[in-house]
Amino acid sequence: MTAVQRWLLVVVGVWLMTWQMLASAQELPDFTELVEEASPAVVNISTRQTVTRRSSAMGPMVPDLEGLPPIFREFFERSFPDESQSAPQRQAQSLGSGFIISKDGYVLTNNHVVSGADEIFVRLSDRRELEASLVGADPRSDLALLKIDAGADLPVVRMGKSADLKTGEWVLAIGSPFGFEYSVTAGIVSAKGRSLPNESYVPFIQTDVAINPGNSGGPLFNLKGEVIGINSQIFTRSGGFMGLSFAIPVDVAMDVVEQLKSDGAVRRGWLGVVIQEVNKDLAESFGLERPAGALVAQIMPEGPGAKGGLQVGDVILKLDDQDIIMSSDLPHAVGRLRPGSKATMQIMRGGKRQQLTLEIGALPDDNALAAASGSSSPQAPSVSDNRLGLAVVELTEEQKKALDVSAGVAVREVRPGPGAMIGLRPGDVITNLNNRAIESAADFEKIAGALPVNRSISMRVIRQGRASYITFRLSE
């Protein structure tokens, strides 16, 4: 190879590398126009709350002066002044973000940004600061709707559809992290439909967009400049960004907005059931081809599910046209339905698929399950000692009523064996074994004696008022 040929190869190689770098650069999005268009509708939100500061965590350290001689009373009065007459107060402040959704001054933000505030202030992009009124708030979705009076031609954001969002899509956030107003951060959608603890009715959008305190309530945009989410929470061990950010889908948010405008409150659908995830062993036990659906572990008496014909042990596979893949899909789907509406449900019961039509109820304010049985041991004399290593006794009528069950047995003693290995404890109540209801202690002994080996077996257990299904296998 001549020197000229080598030189040409070097030139061609450099050109190819340059072309590849330019091509890669062209694939990265340019956010400048989006930011210029959307920023004017983003606002900074601050609140003020008057809090009385306590003088001491142990209470006022003033001795009882009654009965003391005047000289000692005068000394203590000088040393311990009466703070009750002039208890100091401080102004507690919070800081967050929001965005204008209508030209007449409606502003959307997070509920936790304005919760408990005596005064709410909205600072616009033109530096005006206006006091806002709270139209309504929904703690369950962590959304609040504000109203400001700033004329009739305010800049507004454009709304998108979070249902059209795809994992891996570019998104951008604008907000005020740590008070740094109009900070812009970008990333991608990491996942959709995430459930977070105590947030069963919001299918969160997970992103890797840098979100920090102060971003709360700010908008999340797609590349079209449309709002597709409201930044709400972060997962952090340090108090700052760690690559896990969660936004409320705009489809959920706008439904909340319409209800807050019209009714001042939000009503959600409710089934009145306790569900759990279907794992591989449970799927095998219930005759499913693969782990999917929401297993009904408990049904509230007189609730919509009970009235509609749902039974403990049903696996809900579909609600209207939506497949229920994870158990968390069900609260999201039910919560979007209007109370009083009809819903069609596909279930697996007894190894066969069935269809139910039921009426959706309204989610009550207090959805806590009532406490079930006490810790006292059952006193009924009927005892069963079986191959599971369990000594069980039948439930009294009072216990059945407290647990809202028609039958079942309580574990009196756990001996070495399969029962101990799967974590059963004295006081647990067993209502179903191998997909069969337990009518009595003798019935439990009969079913336990006929359990199959080397296949998944399900058991419904009630512990401290909460029911769940567990699975195990017998080798002999």
| Domain 269-362 fold | Pdz3 Domain (2.30.42)
DSSP 319: E
| 251, pLDDT greater than 80 | yes
Q: Which of 8-17, 240-249, 308-317, 467-476 has the highest mean pLDDT?
A: 308-317
Domain boundaries, the chain: 159-263, 269-362, 383-472
Higher pLDDT, 88 or 336: 336
Confidence band of 294 (pLDDT split at 50, 70, 90): very high
Choosing from 112, 141, 251, 281, the catalytic residue is 112
Confidence band of 300 (pLDDT split at 50, 70, 90): confident
The pLDDT of residue 208 is 95
The pLDDT of residue 60 is 46
Chain Cα centroid distance, residue 420: 33
Active-site annotation holds for 112: yes
Establish whether domains 159-263 and 269-362 are of one fold.
no
The pLDDT of residue 55 is 47
Pairing of strands 106-109, 89-100: antiparallel
- Domain 159-263 in CATH 2.40.10.10? The answer is yes
The pLDDT of residue 400 is 83
Let me know: does 234 contact 200? Beta carbons within 8 Å: no
> What is the chain's mean pLDDT, rounded?
83
Let me know: does 403 contact 372? Beta carbons within 8 Å: yes
The pLDDT of residue 305 is 93
Active-site annotation holds for 314: no
The pLDDT of residue 186 is 96
| 103, pLDDT greater than 50 | yes
| 383, pLDDT greater than 70 | no
Residue 382 to residue 374: CA distance in whole angstroms? 19
Overall average pLDDT of the 129-134 stretch: 94
Choosing from 138, 142, 281, 404, the catalytic residue is 142
Q: What is the pTM of this model?
A: 0.69
The pLDDT of residue 398 is 77
The pLDDT of residue 62 is 46
| 37, pLDDT greater than 50 | yes
Q: Which residues pair with 171 in a beta bridge?
A: 187
The pLDDT of residue 359 is 94
Higher pLDDT, 165 or 241: 165
Let me know: does 215 contact 177? Beta carbons within 8 Å: yes
Choosing from 94, 176, 190, 216, the catalytic residue is 216
| Domain 383-472 fold | Pdz3 Domain (2.30.42)
Give which of 141, 240, 254 is closest to 196, Cα–Cα: 141
Q: Which of 152-156, 171-175, 278-282 has the highest mean pLDDT?
A: 171-175
Higher pLDDT, 50 or 359: 359
Of 201-205, 320-324, 415-419, the poorest mean pLDDT is in 415-419
Longest Cα–Cα distance in the chain: 115
Higher pLDDT, 122 or 417: 122
Active-site annotation holds for 216: yes
Residue 461 to residue 427: CA distance in whole angstroms? 10
Of 51-60, 179-188, 253-262, the poorest mean pLDDT is in 51-60
Confidence band of 360 (pLDDT split at 50, 70, 90): very high
| 31, pLDDT greater than 60 | yes
The pLDDT of residue 201 is 82
